[in-house]
């Protein structure tokens, strides 16, 4: 060993076919291999930041000059390299920034932390460098995972002149939206309650406003959105279909700034800046970020969109489409207000603490028919701790969230629901050479307060408190071109006195530098339920309950189920291919087996009927995606071929969100001398949703007081006789074109104005929402909606 170290690192000579071949890198790799084998290693780690704002550089490149050893930074700009002791030159780079080289002298069993600030390059690149993203794809399993950036969200032609994640998520493969208003997202066969929505580690129970185009999340605060449409590993639990994990950024650590925006739909503002300014030579910082938005669509729609009001479904509660006659006076009766704030403390070594809070409100007010109000609020903190003398990184989060909803209808029977959730989690990450171990613990407690009176005057209520405790372990190992990622989660549900043991697994095989095979799967469970079920065309009232504590039975039997949890298993495979330096395609067949689904029995006719009903189901299909990205163009295209069914023990039937074919095409093109113009288009095509056909009608006679009922000459309401075959019909196909044109005016380095002209449903396609069974009146989704939005950043 000492002999090897004393020799000069020149060349190894190999005689082959009478030629001398030089291998300078091989000599260094031999030394590395020997020293790692004998345990003489050290750690080079650090964070890469934007020099101007202090923001972390995500997916930045770090490498040791003269070697093949390198890493890609994570969402915090963090990297870690385990290498033999010695003298190194660490090179950090990112597209659009000047590279930096740092000399490092590393001793055995020591840790060298490097804080690197990259400055924006003065040279404009002619193409987008996607090497970091490609390297990330080669080094991570990433099955059924899509990473969405704020830049991609802003590229979408924005309804109302405001880009929003609610408009972008349906563009992703495997995600279906049920409509423009009150619409819900269904992810690869999973209902909305089966998808976990996280904001900085907090569970958000209702992330979308009633209008459907807008979420509670502010695009300008988002750092990243990780969308797992299935096969997610052991760090996530408590849901059986999908995860959407949204993380916000810190405020600017160097200077005060912000933006104001106005459009026909809403106005918003954001301010950020340092409390303790970050210095170039190191030290910690304290920064803040506050944002708010408010919708006044209920007022502006009377002026700009009065033609649209009579096509909306004001009859969702009463079934009376004649109410459209007074809709012009009411407009589109949607309003909301969202507030979010964050204070961040960042240490000199990359450790940080974030404190945050939010309040989201929403109102739907149709005078004389229904008024719906919901309010969500919460707060908490998360931290990352990077010890100076340990290669284990800690992070954790604590939060409290509350959600209340109230629906008052003309029948005088209000519906109410509330859920308060308490969450605490602690995670540990150990970084080795070719392996990483992640493990952690999570506590969740929530109490529910629910009351609902159905059409048979039967009241269903629940007031409950329950807790969940989970622990997980995930191991990542790279063996040559193969990456293995087994995981295991143990999830204890206190109210059920049940431990759910959930193995997970992920694998990626780098067949070549440009072709990759992947697979993932696992077992999943959850206890929380929603009042929304698959019989709803649309339902504004979204309430939540804990799972049943009484005995439930297998579908259409009196056989008790083995447990009272919703359960599923996932199996997914796929291929990724880099066709050219800027074109990537992805193919993923998948299968989800929902072995036990539990829903609220909203149609119970007496107090003796069970509160809950049980079904099984499955979802399977294949998703294709195509991406091309250059400096001036961005093209994203997806196609999904899917089947989603449920089995209630009597028949197997397609769900109301079973869309066989779904196509999305999104494109943007930047042009002009300084690329300050941007043209965007988005086209969506979807085959028709299923519905249960009508067989006939009957007079709905009230037999409760037969002595006062004139059966022969009375004028009674009509009832409908539905087909025995559930969801046997199909609505007409859906397609819509959205377009936008954006012009950016730059006044100085830190101030600019963006003018965004957008048109939703550009060719005014009459997409059916539903047809009233009694009157045969057709209710369409929203018509053409032009808008102009202005955003001033400073």
Mean pLDDT by 10 residues, the chain (794 residues): 34 33 40 46 89 88 89 89 92 89 90 90 56 77 91 86 89 88 83 94 92 90 95 97 96 94 95 92 90 92 77 43 48 89 93 96 82 94 90 93 90 88 96 88 95 84 94 95 96 95 97 95 96 66 89 88 95 96 95 95 82 94 96 95 95 94 96 93 95 86 65 72 91 95 93 95 91 81 92 95
CB crowding 287-313: b at 16 or more within 10 Å, else e? bbbbbbbebebbebbbebbeebbbbbb
Pairwise CA distance, residues 490 & 483, whole Å: 24
How many whole angstroms from its chain centre is CA 704?
A: 50
Please give the pLDDT value at position 39. 54
Please give the pLDDT value at position 184. 80
Pairwise CA distance, residues 760 & 783, whole Å: 8
Please give the pLDDT value at position 13. 31
Q: What is the dihedral of CA 129, 130, 136, 141, to 10 degrees?
A: 180
Please give the pLDDT value at position 28. 40
DSSP state of 249: P
Please give the pLDDT value at position 780. 86
CB atoms within 10 A of CB 140: 16
Please give the pLDDT value at position 3. 33
Please give the pLDDT value at position 706. 63
Please give the pLDDT value at position 318. 40
Pairwise CA distance, residues 651 & 728, whole Å: 12
The two beta strands, 677-686 and 690-691, are unpaired
Please give the pLDDT value at position 627. 95
Could you tell me which residues come within 8 angstroms of residue 252 by beta carbon, excluding any fewer than 6 positions away? 53, 54, 55, 272, 273, 274, 287, 289
Please give the pLDDT value at position 309. 62
The two beta strands, 694-700 and 717-722, are antiparallel
pTM, full prediction: 0.88
Contact assessment for residue 250 and residue 287, using Cβ atoms and an 8 Å cutoff: yes
Please give the pLDDT value at position 661. 97
């Amino acid at each position: 060993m000492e002999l090897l170290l004393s020799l000069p690192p020149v060349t190894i000579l190999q005689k082959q076919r009478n030629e001398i071949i030089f291998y300078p890198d091989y000599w260094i790799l031999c030394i590395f291999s020997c020293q790692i084998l004998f345990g003489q290693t050290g750690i080079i780690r650090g964070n890469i930041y934007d020099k101007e704002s202090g923001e972390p550089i995500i997916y930045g490149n770090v490498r040791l000059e003269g070697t093949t050893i390198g890493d890609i930074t994570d969402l915090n700009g963090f990297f870690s390299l385990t290498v033999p002791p010695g003298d190194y030159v660490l090179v950090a780079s990112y597209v659009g920034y000047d590279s930096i080289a740092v000399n490092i002298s590393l001793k055995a069993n020591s840790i060298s932390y490097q804080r690197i600030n990259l400055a924006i390059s003065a040279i404009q690149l002619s193409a987008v460098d996607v090497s970091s993203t490609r390297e990330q794809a080669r080094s991570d399993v990433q099955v059924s995972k899509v990473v969405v950036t704020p830049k991609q969200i802003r590229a979408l032609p924005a309804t109302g002149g405001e880009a929003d994640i609610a408009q972008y998520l349906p563009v992703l493969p495997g995600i279906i939206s049920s409509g423009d208003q009150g619409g819900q997202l269904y992810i690869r066969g999973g209902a909305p309650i089966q998808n976990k929505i996280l904001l900085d580690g907090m569970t958000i129970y209702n992330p979308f406003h009633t209008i459907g185009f807008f979420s509670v999340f502010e695009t300008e605060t988002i750092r990243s959105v990780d969308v797992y449409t299935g096969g997610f590993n052991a760090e996530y639990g408590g849901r059986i279909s999908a995860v959407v994990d949204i993380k916000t950024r810190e405020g600017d650590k160097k200077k005060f700034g912000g933006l104001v925006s106005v459009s026909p739909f809403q106005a918003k503002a954001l301010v950020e800046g340092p409390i303790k300014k970050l210095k170039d030579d190191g030290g910690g910082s304290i920064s803040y970020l506050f944002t708010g938005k408010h919708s006044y669509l209920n007022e502006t729609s009377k002026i700009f969109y009065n033609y649209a009001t009579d096509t909306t479904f004001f009859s969702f509660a009463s079934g009376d489409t004649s109410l459209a006659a007074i809709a012009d006076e009411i407009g589109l009766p949607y309003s909301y207000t969202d507030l979010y704030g964050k204070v961040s403390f960042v240490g000199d070594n990359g450790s940080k603490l974030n404190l945050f809070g939010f309040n989201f409100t929403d109102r739907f007010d149709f005078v004389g028919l229904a008024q719906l109000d919901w309010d969500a609020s919460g707060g908490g903190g998360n931290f990352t701790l990077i010890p100076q003398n340990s290669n284990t990184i800690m992070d954790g989060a604590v939060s409290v969230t509350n959600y209340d909803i109230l629906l008052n209808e003309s029948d005088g029977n209000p519906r109410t629901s509330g859920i308060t959730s308490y969450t605490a989690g602690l995670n540990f990450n150990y970084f080795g050479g070719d392996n990483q171990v992640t493990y952690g613990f999570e506590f969740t407690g929530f109490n529910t307060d629910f009351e609902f009176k159905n059409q048979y005057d039967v009241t269903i209520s629940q007031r409950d408190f329950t807790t969940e405790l989970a622990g997980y372990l995930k191991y990542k190992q790279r063996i040559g071109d193969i990456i293995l990622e087994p995981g295991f989660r143990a999830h204890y549900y206190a109210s059920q006195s049940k431990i759910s043991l959930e193995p997970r697994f992920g694998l990626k095989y780098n067949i070549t530098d440009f072709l990759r095979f992947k697979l993932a799967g696992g077992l999943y469970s959850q206890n929380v339920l929603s009042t929304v079920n698959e019989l709803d065309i649309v339902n504004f009232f979204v309430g939540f309950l804990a799972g049943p504590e009484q005995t439930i039975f297998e579908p259409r039997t009196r056989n008790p189920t083995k447990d009272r949890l919703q359960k599923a298993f996932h199996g997914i495979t796929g291929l990724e291919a880099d066709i050219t330096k800027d074109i990537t395609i992805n193919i993923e067949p998948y299968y989800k087996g929902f072995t036990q689904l539990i829903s609220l029995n909203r149609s119970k006719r007496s107090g003796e009927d069970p509160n809950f009903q049980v079904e099984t189901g499955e979802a399977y299909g294949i998703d294709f995606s195509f991406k091309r990205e250059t400096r001036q163009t961005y093209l994203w295209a997806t196609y999904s071929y899917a089947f989603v069914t449920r089995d209630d023990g009597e028949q197997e039937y397609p769900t109301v969100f079973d869309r066989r074919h779904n196509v999305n095409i999104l494109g943007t093109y930047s042009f002009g001398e300084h690329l300050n113009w941007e043209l965007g288009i988005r086209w969506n095509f979807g085959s028709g949703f299923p519905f249960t056909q009508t067989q006939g009608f009957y007079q709905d006679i009230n037999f409760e007081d037969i002595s006062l009922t004139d059966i022969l000459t009375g004028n009674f309401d009509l009832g409908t006789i539905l087909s025995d075959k559930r969801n046997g019909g199909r609505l007409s196909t859906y397609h819509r074109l959205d377009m936008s044109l954006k012009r950016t005016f730059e006044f100085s380095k830190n101030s600019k104005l963006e003018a965004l002209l957008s048109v939703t449903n550009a060719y005014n396609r009459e997409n059916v929402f539903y047809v009233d069974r009694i009157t045969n009146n057709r209710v369409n989704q929203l018509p053409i909606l032009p808008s102009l939005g202005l955003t001033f950043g400073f």
